[in-house]
Structure 1
């Protein structure tokens, strides 16, 4: 059985699950024990020494990094294709994916830090949230231009470009930052959410939030360590949250990518 190690809130894991469901491939999901503590078991760490989800296990094959996993899925199960046929269109949707992963993800991540993990309150929280709203509005405008007159980011059919965008647009919508009413992007979101592969992943993410009432206490006690690396660290600092990072370092409740060994 194909196994996807994941957390339902992870947009990276959602991309993988949407692709597999679009292709009709059966898989099992597993939540790594100790996820978020920085101390996960060897079964998981041996497959992904970065210690983050998603991880795909296909028999003896272990693959990490959501983009690499999507490429593996496309290579092994090419029908129906998630990538467009033309090289230029393939490059276009890969660029969209990279922007989502590197520029949109840290905004939603930061909003989660504030609202679920209570990293900041009062004026600092308001400052970071105001900056996030500006950043999301800018990304929505960029996505609107990228979508153009297409029904799908991928072109004529739903595919790689779309599954790369929808987890992030849904994620910020959960914090009240939605595409403008009547926009092409809002209409696209509704079309995407009508697909069972997308709506299932979105519902799984929503259901997982109900168990997060006490996570801020675990963070405060140092029992739960959120991973800050590359774009997340940059995003928090440039949005005015340097104190969030410094306090996290002081309390030892943030972590970075472990060393490879």
Structure 2
């Protein structure tokens, strides 16, 4: 049995679960103990030295980084194929994934810093939320162009770019930033969420959201440390949150990617 270390709110982990479900591969999910508070240990640390989810254990194989895990899944269980056959189309799907994994993920993560972890309030929070809305709208326009008139990003078949996009758009929608009503992207999202694989990952995320209102105190006390990895730090600074970073360093409630060892 495959073991997938995940957190239901992680879009990186969600896309891995979607891939496994689409291929009908059985797996067991585990949320790492102590993640975010410096207490992670055991098989999870061996599989993911950066202390990030997802991490996949398949017998003696231990993998981290969602894209690498997805490529492993695609190669080990090639049917049904999620990547298209042609090299140009494969590159396009991987490009969409990369944009969502880096630029778009940082926006949704930043909204979580504001709403759940109370990093800012008043005018600063409003300004950063306004910046996030403009950015999300821009990426929605870009995604709509990538989709074109097709049913899925790969044409008639649900595939790689679809499973890599749905968790992020659902994450933004959870903060109230939905694709424009009547748009092709909105219709695509409805189709995606109707798939059992996407619905399962989205439902699991929604089930843990109710507890997120309680986490701000843990961050303020320095018990829980949010990871400001590269693209997230960039988003925070360029969107007006430099003081948030400085305060987080002073209060020791943010962290960066740890060194392996």
**Shared fold, TM over 0.5:** yes
Equivalence for 1:147: 147
Aligned partners of 1:152 and 1:162 also within 8 Å: yes
* 1:85 Cα offset (Å): 1.1
Equivalence for 1:252: 252
Equivalence for 1:156: 156
C-alpha RMSD over aligned residues: 0.7
Q: Give CA deviations for 1:27-51 in whole Å, capped at 9, x if unaligned.
A: 0000000111133113211111100
* 1:156 Cα offset (Å): 1.7
> Is 1:204 matched with 2:181?
no
Equivalence for 1:36: 36
Could you list the runs of 5+ residues in structure 2 that have no partner in the other structure? none
> Is 1:180 matched with 2:180?
yes
Structure 2: distance between partners of 1:113 and 1:199? 25
Aligned partners of 1:38 and 1:255 also within 8 Å: no
Q: Give CA deviations for 1:69-124 in whole Å, capped at 9, x if unaligned.
A: 00000000000001011111000000000000011000000000000111111111
Could you list the runs of 5+ residues in structure 1 that have no partner in the other structure? none
Q: TM-score, normalised by structure 1?
A: 0.99
What is the number of residues matched between the two proteins? 261
Aligned partners of 1:133 and 1:177 also within 8 Å: yes
- More helix by proportion, 1 or 2? 2
Matches within 5 A, 1:79-118: 79-118=79-118
Structure 2: distance between partners of 1:50 and 1:168? 22
Equivalence for 2:59: 59
Task: Flag as ranges the 4+ runs of structure 1 deviating above 2 A.
Answer: none
Structure 1: distance between partners of 2:151 and 2:27? 29
Q: TM-score, normalised by structure 2?
A: 0.99
Aligned partners of 1:83 and 1:160 also within 8 Å: yes
Structure 2: distance between partners of 1:159 and 1:22? 9
Q: Give CA deviations for 1:165-220 in whole Å, capped at 9, x if unaligned.
A: 00111001011111011100000000000100000100000001122221000000
Structure 1: distance between partners of 2:48 and 2:79? 27
Equivalence for 1:126: 126
